[in-house]
Structure 1
Amino acid sequence: MLIAQITDLHIRAGRNLAYGRVDTARALERAIDHVMALDPAPDVVLFTGDIGDLGIAAEYAEVADILAALTLPYYMVPGNHDRRAALHDAFPHAIPAKKGDFLHYILDDFPLRMIGLDTLDEGYGHGVLCQRRLAWLENQLAQNPLLPHLIFMHHPPITSFIAHMDALKLRGEADNRTNAGDNNGLAHLFRQYRGIVGVLCGHLHRPLHCVWHGVPVNVAPSIAHQVVADFREHGPAAFNMEPAAIQLHFWSPDLPEQGLLTHTSYIGDFAGPYPFFDATGALIS
């Protein structure tokens, strides 16, 4: 099974530039062209949040126009820049969740059982997994504990060491807005249900990979711009116009020992490819 992941679109209404500089609409068009040119074609495309930049209907209408060129099955979860009602109204087919509640859902029609998880704390930059959301997730895992599961959500639970982004990472349920809470509940589920083959996230605008409580966590880069990898304690928020990319995730029931394999696939035209062998079949030294 091949999964394409696209994240952090940040589309503005009227194709306006994000931050007055980034043509996010054109970035999405290029990403869709890139996905549609893949051979073999992905089985599914997952959008892991920040579909719009302000979360308004006009932005999602812009996205829908661009996604008309995407003829593959695709699904979405909200990011902190999104608003649930407007996003669900625009893409009910891509978010098969009950309207007016958390936008969680299960995809059972693929070889790998996939769980779309809503981490949005609407109006705030950080993410939250409250007890209701954790209980829903545990119920889904418990229904089929031996099946391999893939979770996709916007906010990663990990520490990136980019201070201004870590202030906006996924939190557990907090007593108030100044208490960051913790992710002990999610960590417990990860340790309990060993069938989770991976977690796909966005939000950090950088490609990151680690193992968190025994589960591989993959963070895809944004297709629009990347956050500067500034690891100073008080490093300022800033972005770079690095090469845009998506991630491609391979999973096969014939290779259970390998789990989820992830490629970062860069968008654009680059020099090459150059063959390793000449016309006679000899290795080029």
Structure 2
Amino acid sequence: MLIAQLSDPHVRPKGELYHGVVDSNAGLAAAVEHVLTLDRRPDLVLITGDLVDHGEPAEYDNVREVLLALPIPFLIIPGNHDDRENFRAAFADHDYLPHRGPLHYCVDDHPVRIIGLDSTVPGHHHGHVDQAGLDWLAATLSQDTTKPTLIMLHHPPFVSGIPYLDEYRYFEGAALAAVVERAPNVEIVVCGHVHRSMVRRWARTVLVTCPSTTTEIDLQLAASAEPSSHDGPRGYLLHLWDELEGMTSHARQIGDFAGPYPFA
């Protein structure tokens, strides 16, 4: 099974730019086009939050229009820039999304079971899953402890070392890890939020974060570093699961580069 993960498109109303400088709408459209040019078409696409920038209905109308070009099933979770109720209304045809409360769900229609975890806190930018959500996750994981499982959430539950990202991270990662580590079949945990690719051993599994289709948040590790981003490189992740080999993740950059050349 091949899974493409897109994240943090921050779609704006038509004609408006992300932070007034970046065409985030074109970035998502380019990412969709890039996925469709792969030599193997993904079986499923995951979009790990911040589908839009301000949570406005006009933005959701626009992201729906861009995603019409995607002839592949896709699953979504909200991020801190999404509005949970506007998100739910915009994707009311996605039957796996709950009709009320946090948007936690499990989709078991594929060789890899997909669990979506809503880590958003309405009105805030940090991540959190309350005790009811942790209990739901524990019960869902316990229903099948053998099928390969992927968990997706927006906020990475660890310290990245980038100071201006860690100010609004998922702060109580240990409680979430305590639930996840009891499930021996969690192949991978995938996140967005940080607009960068990161890899970490976490909760007895592997956790990866996805680049944004819009901007890359700069890697600065000094405690005094000020928030900084660049208009690219844009990218996404591909997660290749094989019954014998398990899960392997690949990073793809979006853009035009010299080549191909006849060597490897």
TM-score, length basis structure 1: 0.90
Q: CA deviation at 1:158?
A: 1.6
The structure-2 alpha-carbon separation of the partners of 1:136 and 1:106, relative to structure 1 and needing over 3 Å to count, comes to same
Give runs of aligned pairs for residues 103-182 of structure 1, distance below 5 A. 103-171=103-171, 182=172
**Counterpart AA for 1:262:** S
Match of 1:38 in 2: 38
Structure 1: 4+ residue segments shifted above 2 A? 92-95
Indicate conservation of the 8 Å contact 1:75/1:95, yes or no: no
Kindly report which structure 2 residues correspond to 1:96-107, keeping only aligned pairs within 5 A, or say none.
96-107=96-107
Q: Please name the residue that 1:75 is paired with.
A: 75
Q: Distance in 2 between matches of 1:230 and 1:94?
A: 38
Separation in structure 1 between the aligned mates of residue 3 and residue 94 of structure 2, nearest angstrom? 15
The answer on whether the counterparts of 1:206 and 1:220 sit within 8 Å (CA) in structure 2 is yes
From 198, 217, 235, the equivalent of 2:225 is 235
* Residue 253 of structure 2: aligned partner: 266
Over alpha carbons, which structure has the higher Rg?
A: 1
Contact residue 227 and residue 240 of structure 1 kept, 8 A = yes
Which amino acid is the alignment partner of residue 88 of structure 2?
A: H
Question: What is the CA distance between 1:97 and its match in structure 2?
Answer: 1.9
Query: Secondary structure at 2:3's aligned position in 1?
Result: strand
Q: How does 1:184-195 map to 2 (within 5 A)?
A: 184-195=174-185
- Alpha-carbon RMSD: 1.3
Give, as a single letter, the amino acid of the residue that structure 1 aligns with 2:216: Q
Kindly, what percent of the aligned residue pairs are identical?
Answer: 38
* Residues 74, 94 of structure 1: 8 Å contact kept: no
* Corresponding residue pairs, total: 264
Amino acid across the alignment from 1:275: P
Structure 2 gap ranges (5+): none
Q: Is the 8 A contact 2:158 2:173 kept in 1?
A: no
Structure 1 gap segments, 5+ residues each: 172-181, 278-285
Counterpart secondary structure, 1:71: coil
Say if 1:88 and 1:95, in contact at 8 Å, map to a contact too: no
* CA–CA distance in structure 1, aligned partners of residues 15 and 249 of structure 2: 31
User: TM-score, normalising length from structure 2?
Assistant: 0.97
Q: 2: CA distance between counterparts of 1:276 and 1:145? A: 43
CA contact (8 A) 2:77 2:103 kept: yes
Query: Deviation digits for residues 94-130 of structure 1, max 9, x if unmatched?
Result: 4622222111111111001110110000111101011
1:264, distance to aligned residue in structure 2 (A) = 0.6
Residues 1:95 and 1:124: Cα distance change in structure 2 (over 3 Å)? farther
Q: CA deviation at 1:191?
A: 2.3
Indicate if the aligned counterparts of 2:138 and 2:180 stay in contact, CA closer than 8 A.
no
CA distance in 2, matches of 1:196, 1:143: 13
| Contact 2:117 2:152 survives alignment (8 Å) | yes
